[in-house]
Amino acid sequence: MNLENIHNVYFIGVGGIGMSALARYFRFIQMNVAGYDKTKTPLTQELSAIGVDIHYSDDISLILDMYKNPNNTLVVYTPAVPNNHTEYQYFINNGFDIKKRSEVLGLITKDTFCFAVAGTHGKTTTSGILAHLLKETGTPLTAFLGGISEDFNSNFLLEGTEYSVVEADEYDRSFLRLSPNVACITSMDADHLDIYGDDKNIKKSFMDFVGCIKPGGKLFVKSGLPLQGITYGIEDDSDYCIKNLKIEHGTYIFDLGTPDTVVTGVRFNKPGRHNLLNGLVAFAMAVQAGSPPYRLAKALETFKGVQRRFSYRIKRDDFVFIDDYAHHPTEINAVFDAVSEMHADKSTLAVFQPHLFSRTKDFADDFAKSLSNFDSILLLDIYPAREEPLPGITSDWLLKKIDNQNKKVIAKSKLVSEIKKQNPQVLITMGAGDIGLEISKIKEEFTYAN
């Protein structure tokens, strides 16, 4: 496909976080953009405000005529779209150039100096930090993020086209469409077993991704992963390493060792050792763009965060409300560790919305163990996303596995009243489904509470 021949881009699933970033890109370069999504959200409303024509019914008649010419229209779809989707079938059967989001991302970035962030956890935060560091040091970049950066209030940044920052998503083996110059792998835990079947296959896919790096490119890997590359870690002998770590007033302060130098007194404000590692590898990757380490260190201190990645929604002495995208046991453990480190000896209430029936089934015992660490647990119903229900796999089934007496399944409509009843010192909401839509309700209720 030659993008120069394309005038119109149509998205099936335009409201997805990755899809909407691509839609913003094509609008920015003055293409006509339209799409379908099943639900109106703040993201789709923002797209509509910049001229993206969106409808919310799977109906061919709602597609504008200009997007029905296969000679000048590119159709982009997300793997979450079912095969029997009417619009999807229309484009398939009428000779359109129809591509997955990952294919288009690969085409856009193949002629840039591409930074790709891979791993089962940490992609969005790491790529958000990397984009922030490069922007702050004057690097001409385009960034496609899987979350809303609090630094530039978007999942898309266009400061130039020489460099690009992308998330290398392992779902559906999407990251094999990329050809990065510099890549990192933050983690290789078992996930997406509906795609891979077992842990062995997902690890093989990461090995295949390493093979996509351009000749002469560089790979950064978290210390301890079974891969050859430039290592990074905390208080170890990694190539890039955090040393002399301490916490003052909720801020990490440390020395940062590189193969060439040591930067002292670096400050980073996002809680959690996992976020420290994300910041470290983003720093290491940004060095490859020629940015001076001391300037990158100053930029690390000003990173605000990514929405729903250990985001403080309320932070008072008597009440703390943290929201996080955690939807895997390892991520829940990381949230618990960060809360324990930053808010020791305070009572915790975790609200968790399981994401996908298959993931809940595959990791039920691990979810139960992770959630049991909190003082009290509330489970919402499983968010199905692209899946049909699995017999017997429910939040009530998961609840029985949790080794904690303070637990219950609750409807969203009763969530705020239950939180008020329990009166925790630290409230944590977690999940990758629509739990994010409850955050503003909770925040409004507790912002002025005594």
Q: Is 211 annotated as a binding residue?
A: no
The answer to whether 120 is a known ligand-binding residue is yes
Closest by Cα among 122, 120, 161 to 143? 161
CA angle 236, 239, 241 (to 5 degrees): 45
Q: Distance between CA 445 and CA 439 in Å, rounded?
A: 10
Strand ordering across the sheet containing 97-100? 53-55, 32-36, 8-12, 73-77, 97-100
**Token pair 């170890």: residue:** 236
Cα-based distances in Å from 230 to 118, 195, 218, 266, 286: 14, 29, 8, 21, 14
Dist. CA 159–CA 138, nearest whole Å: 9
Cα–chain center distance at 27? 23
**pLDDT for the residue numbered 361:** 95
Does the annotation place 121 within a ligand binding site? Answer: yes
List, by residue range, all CATH 3.40.50.720 domains of the chain.
3-100
**Could you tell me which of 273, 242, 278 has the C-alpha nearest to residue 133?**
278
Q: Where are the beta strands (DSSP E) in 159-278?
A: 163-168, 182-185, 218-222, 230-234, 240-248, 251-257, 262-268
In 3D space, the residue among 153, 152, 145 whose CA is nearest the CA of residue 128 turns out to be 145
Would you say 119 is a known binding-site residue? yes
Third-level CATH fold of 110-301: UDP-N-acetylmuramoyl-L-alanine:D-glutamate ligase (3.40.1190)
Second CATH level (architecture) for the domain 3-100: 3-Layer(aba) Sandwich (3.40)
Q: Are strands 182-185 and 240-248 parallel, antiparallel or unpaired?
A: unpaired
Model-level pTM?
0.86
Rounded to an integer, what distance in angstroms lies between the CA atom of residue 151 and that of residue 303?
7
Q: What span, in angstroms and rounded, lies between the C-alpha atoms of 119 and 225?
A: 11
| 86: its two tokens | 């009417």
Q: Say whether 408 counts as a known binding-site residue.
A: no
DSSP symbols for 93-157 = HTT-EEEEHHHHHHHHHTTSEEEEEE-SSSHHHHHHHHHHHHHHTT--EEEEEEEEETTTTEEEE
Question: Is 304 buried (19+), middle (13-18) or exposed (0-12) by CB count in 10 A?
Answer: middle
Question: Do strands 141-149 and 154-158 pair parallel, antiparallel, or not at all (unpaired)?
Answer: antiparallel
Three-class SS of residue 373?
coil
Q: First-to-last CA distance in the chain?
A: 59
Of all residues in the chain, what percent are helix, strand and coil, respectively (each to 5)? Answer: 35, 25, 35
**The domain defined by 311-446 carries CATH number 3.40.50.1370:** no
What pLDDT is stored for residue 203 in this prediction? 79
Consult the annotation and say whether 274 binds a ligand.
no
CA distances from 78 to 45, 98, 318, 326, 330 (A): 19, 11, 43, 22, 26
Domain boundaries for CATH 3.40.1190.10 within the chain: 110-301
Segment holding 194, helix H or strand E: helix 193-196
Structure tokens at 449: 């509470």
Full DSSP string of 401-419: H---SSEEE--GGGHHHHH
Numbered ranges of CATH 3.90.190.20 in the chain: 311-446
Asked if residue 112 belongs to a known ligand binding site, the reply is no
Q: Would you give per-residue pLDDT tens digits along the chain (450 residues)?
A: 566 778 999 999 999 999 999 999 999 999 999 999 988 988 999 999 999 999 999 999 999 999 999 999 999 998 788 889 999 999 999 999 899 888 899 999 999 999 999 998 899 999 999 999 999 999 999 999 989 999 999 999 999 999 999 998 876 777 888 999 999 999 887 554 556 556 677 778 889 999 999 999 999 999 999 899 999 999 999 999 999 999 998 899 999 999 999 999 999 999 999 999 999 999 999 999 998 999 999 999 999 999 988 999 999 989 999 999 999 999 999 999 999 999 988 999 999 999 999 999 999 999 999 999 999 999 999 999 878 999 999 999 999 999 999 999 999 999 999 999 999 999 999 999 999 889 999 999 888 654
* Residues 192 and 355 sit within 8 Å (Cβ to Cβ): no
